[in-house]
Amino acid sequence: MPTNTMLVVGGNGIIGRNAASYLHATGRWNVIVTSASPLDYESPAPYVQLNLLDAQAVAGQAEQLREVTHVLYTAYIEGKTLAAQTQVNLDLLRNLVLGLEQVAPHFQHLTFIQGGKAYGAHLGRYKTPALETDPRHFPPNFYYSQEDFLRTHAVGKAWSWTALRPDIVVGFAVGNPMNLANLLAVYASFCKELKVPFRFPGSLKAYGVLVNVTDATLLAKGVDFVATRAECREEIFNITNGDIFRWSQLWPRFAAYFGVEYAEPITFPLQEYMADKAELWQQLVQQHGLQPHALEELAQWGFGDFIFNVEADAFLDVNKLRRAGFHEQQLDSFTSFRNQFEHLKTAKIIP
């Protein structure tokens, strides 16, 4: 029987969902999954509902959380302003940690997910390849506030922390707004149905810059790796597939995979052009016997508009984690996307 228990916080998201599945499958972990709302999928791991906006939420589930030794923290709430976003996400993490200190006597380690926003990726341009030692951009940034809280609060405690920084996570999930695999698959399905070419919708410059992504299963392996290694405590690690590509290299391969004509890019805003496609998606759902998901559950077109219009190289250096002994960052990113497309087909999410 496993001796360590991983609490996966944010179990409905791409990262949490895939990590819970992977960690359970290893047989090395007891896994507990939590989220503010009930899981939208079946999991072999026990589920505990936690609304971490409530400072007493952990205490209210003390019996179910008593055996927690490790945490994967992936929770996130959007805010109307940067200041509000920072405060609410700091509150979530603080309420979890303070609560676990009271109810989980064997609490040892917390892995929390940051990402390219730590380097200013959401601002459109940052130094590449990004290193974990690169200076912060001008605040607020909720990653910084969470990290500062953990750095300060963990001093002298029996538990430690590690931060992992993936970039554009490619994995299976429904209802997650930042899901690029879903977005590509739905867009290609529309192109096929409407008999129009599959074109890159961003700028021509963005079509040629260097980018990277992180496979959700690889990220789960990274969580498994850092959770129990002393040399990873109080450290930050970038984690990606390990390859770098241009959208111009993958786009024709995406078109070939979906059996749709490829054509040269034409810049157009997905959010605007997909605004009238909800009814068409429901027609495809009926026609192909798909799971009854609404279009907005599968793709957030504004996210695609941002990703496909980044006109500067955007990729992370991952050698620090390799030097620590993690050697899984050698995936082909087209394969990561293809695997997710296959999963979406098998699950009857897309035609």
From first to last of its 351 residues, the chain has per-residue pLDDT tens of: 789 999 999 999 999 999 999 999 999 999 999 999 999 889 999 999 999 999 999 999 999 999 999 999 999 999 999 999 999 999 999 999 999 999 999 999 999 999 999 999 999 899 999 999 999 999 999 999 999 999 999 999 999 999 999 999 999 998 887 899 999 999 999 999 999 999 999 999 999 999 999 999 999 999 999 999 999 999 999 999 999 999 999 999 999 999 999 999 999 999 999 999 999 999 999 999 999 999 999 999 999 999 999 999 999 999 999 999 999 999 999 999 999 999 999 999 999
Alpha helical stretches, state H, 228-268 = 247-258
CA distances, 166 to each of 58, 85, 222, 322 (Å): 28, 20, 10, 14
| Interatomic CA distance for residues 231 and 235, integer angstroms | 8
Residue 19 has a pLDDT of 98
CATH 3.40.50.720 in the chain, residues? 4-168+214-238, 170-213+244-314+331-346
Residue 162 has a pLDDT of 98
Residue 279 has a pLDDT of 98
Residue 300 has a pLDDT of 96
Provide the CATH number for the domain formed by 170-213+244-314+331-346 in this structure: 3.40.50.720
DSSP reduced 3-state for 337:
helix
CA distances, 164 to each of 13, 208, 234, 242, 311 (Å): 16, 27, 11, 14, 25
What does residue 274 show for φ and ψ, rounded to 5 degrees?
-95, 0
DSSP reduced 3-state for 270:
helix
| Interatomic CA distance for residues 20 and 25, integer angstroms | 9
| Interatomic CA distance for residues 103 and 107, integer angstroms | 9
- What's domain 4-168+214-238's superfamily in CATH? NAD(P)-binding Rossmann-like Domain (3.40.50.720)
pTM above 0.75, yes or no: yes
